[in-house]
Structure 1
């Protein structure tokens, strides 16, 4: 009988990433219970957005906690998507995750700075702050879907493309609801700056999705 070499991928660092993100979310829930409850029902009730103070709301601690939660789970979700389509060697999995989370943070930071630069250029600072806050809040909420999907993809249905497609569909749906509510709440202002809003959608929202879609298709 010839020995068969079996390569078993260590899940330790993935488990650690999930536990870390869960600790961050739990800390946010413990310190800001009312905000957390309103945050959970965000797609169905816009109370969380309406009750947030306009000044400094991007830098309030609950928003920061949920953004960190989003960074971790988005990076892990992207890693698992890449693994499901292309595969990764056991030697470089953790390194790939670290690179992914670094790129996610850099991309989102640069995106915010570009939005602020355009706001200054078009004199639409108030509108842009609302857009940034709404978009990041709904994207943070969709990271709850990423979190659950990551658990399923790691421990239950490894490399399941069906789970990935369902998760992406839910993520797009949540963010589409946020965009619709944003347009509805600021329709008068958006009409006044329609050119800017179209430019924003094409350059900073649609273009990244096209690039990611092309990469996955390739």
Structure 2
């Protein structure tokens, strides 16, 4: 079966969709969005909105959709650079986007289930909120990064690895911030929390890395 070449046109559409989604999030909750943009250097957002978190939050849902789209586009750029190819089936692109979204959602649901089983719901819920907030922040950062890599700069492996390193550092900052905030709760539930980290924060990404390398 012939493969289709994905042109930048499809990515222009995806970037526009992401911009519209982010704009809707800002319009529906302007004050919250302004606080969210400063989350990396100020924990005001995390302190205020973690109290009112819901199982389904429209603001977080909008930013989550942007996250999935932005990560999918960046993964394709990385894949294209590593394999030195511009050819990928549109079906593969759709599966990639869908898989990333489902992976994150299932992971969050399992985390909440484990929190209930170990009776550390409060700790896990607040931890998940902070983690999702930082991931959504990465989705915002990836918007201009993807645009620059697609239309301005010629991506190189060194540049891509540098961007991945920066994203990991930001994610680690988010984790450390969460650990500091809840260190007393974590100390009282240290064994369960270590099990949680090994099972749901380390193992899934090791498996994904192995799958990516094997392909």
The answer to whether the superposition gives a TM-score over 0.5 is yes
Alignment partner of 1:187 is 2:183? yes
Runs of 4+ in 1 over 3 A off after TM superposition: 55-58, 87-91, 211-218
**70, 77, 86: which one pairs with 1:80?**
77
Q: TM-score, normalised by structure 2?
A: 0.89
CA RMSD of aligned residues (A): 2.1
Residues 75 and 171 from structure 1, CA distance in 2 versus in 1: closer, same or farther, beyond 3 angstroms? Answer: same
1:28 and 1:65 in contact (8 A); partners too: yes
Consecutive unaligned residues in structure 1, runs of 5 or more: 1-6
2:81 and 2:155 in contact (8 A); partners too: yes
Residues 151 and 24 from structure 1, CA distance in 2 versus in 1: closer, same or farther, beyond 3 angstroms? Answer: same
Greater alpha carbon shift after TM alignment, 38-47 vs 154-163: 154-163
**2:25 maps to which residue?**
28
Number of aligned residues = 211
Query: Following TM superposition, by how much is the alpha carbon of 1:216 offset from its aligned partner in structure 2, in angstroms?
Result: 5.3
CA distance in 2: counterparts of 1:75 and 1:9, whole angstroms: 13
Q: What is the correspondence of 1:110-149 to structure 2 with a 5 Å cutoff?
A: 110-149=106-145
| Deviation digits for residues 149-177 of structure 1 (CA, Å, limit 9, x no counterpart) | 21122112344222311221121111111
CA distance in 2: counterparts of 1:58 and 1:36, whole angstroms: 19
CA distance in 2: counterparts of 1:81 and 1:150, whole angstroms: 11
Q: TM-score, normalised by structure 1?
A: 0.88
Query: Following TM superposition, by how much is the alpha carbon of 1:89 offset from its aligned partner in structure 2, in angstroms?
Result: 5.6
CA distance in 1: counterparts of 2:79 and 2:55, whole angstroms: 31
Residues 54 and 163 from structure 1, CA distance in 2 versus in 1: closer, same or farther, beyond 3 angstroms? Answer: same
CA distance in 2: counterparts of 1:91 and 1:101, whole angstroms: 13
**1:37 maps to which residue?**
34
